[in-house]
Amino acid sequence: MPVDPGAPPRFVLREDRLSKTTDSLRTYYENKEVEEWIQSVAGVLDQGWNEQAAAARPPRQYEFPTGFNTYFGPERFAVGELFFSHSRDLAASNPHLPRTIPALISQALTACDPDMRQVLMGNVVLSGGGSLFAGLGERLNNELARNFPHVKIHAPGNPTERRYGGWLGGSILASLGTFHQLWISKEEWQEHGKAIVGQRCK
């Protein structure tokens, strides 16, 4: 039943379906709902976290499957901020937090040949469901531009292409005849170890 924003939802569960719902199916749909919320509501501030800037942005309404709906204000930007910085309290309570996206990119670049770094920074591709935050590309560009000149971010406009870009690219690459020559068999790996990767993929 339609309800006003913030009001308790009014819904009836389908008991005939509820009894047949497995835990894995329930988890799948819960995760899918989170992704829908991220694509519809969540965002990233382009110049870094600023409570006044977050409060100045208009709130967005979202309706959940039960019919409950509400407006999300500054808190919708706090989720995406975790990709770029961790609060001191969070870092203190969990010393094993993953690195931020700019830190991961910087770490990957330092492991590359210096001559290749500028080429790579001109071809940063956003892919995967986590990249669907509104404003993620602009924020990442601003963060990387502080340390690297001539940064270029590529972000497919189609959400489906962006979400499954890694799988699509891998599928296309694996279907190329020239790529088959780079395959490493189990027997070759057991005989030569990881050194064969560098030899085969020069």
Helix 136-145 / helix 101-110 crossing angle, nearest 10 deg: 50
What's the pLDDT tens digit per position in 78-94?
888 888 888 778 778 88
Among residues of the chain, what percentage have pLDDT more than 70?
A: 100
What's the pLDDT tens digit per position in 101-119?
988 988 888 888 888 888 8
Indicate whether 201 pLDDT > 80.
Answer: no
What's the pLDDT tens digit per position in 29-41?
999 998 888 888 9
Q: Quick one: pLDDT at residue 29?
A: 92
Judge contact between 124 and 144, C-beta under 8 A: yes
pTM: 0.72
Distance CA 169, CA 179 (A): 13
Q: The tokens of 153 are what? A: 């971010």
pLDDT mean across residues, the chain: 87
Residue that is written with structure tokens 């006003």 in the block = 4
Judge contact between 102 and 144, C-beta under 8 A: yes
Domain regions of the chain by residue span? 15-155
What's the pLDDT tens digit per position in 126-177?
888 778 888 888 999 988 888 888 889 888 778 888 888 888 888 998 888 8
Indicate whether 72 pLDDT > 90.
Answer: yes
Indicate whether 202 pLDDT > 80.
Answer: no
Q: Quick one: pLDDT at residue 4?
A: 92
23: pLDDT confidence band, cut at 50, 70 and 90?
very high
Distance CA 60, CA 58 (A): 7
Distance CA 189, CA 55 (A): 55
CA atoms within 13 A on the CB side of 29: 8
Q: The tokens of 160 are what? A: 């489906």
Distance CA 45, CA 25 (A): 34
20: pLDDT confidence band, cut at 50, 70 and 90?
confident
Q: Quick one: pLDDT at residue 58?
A: 92
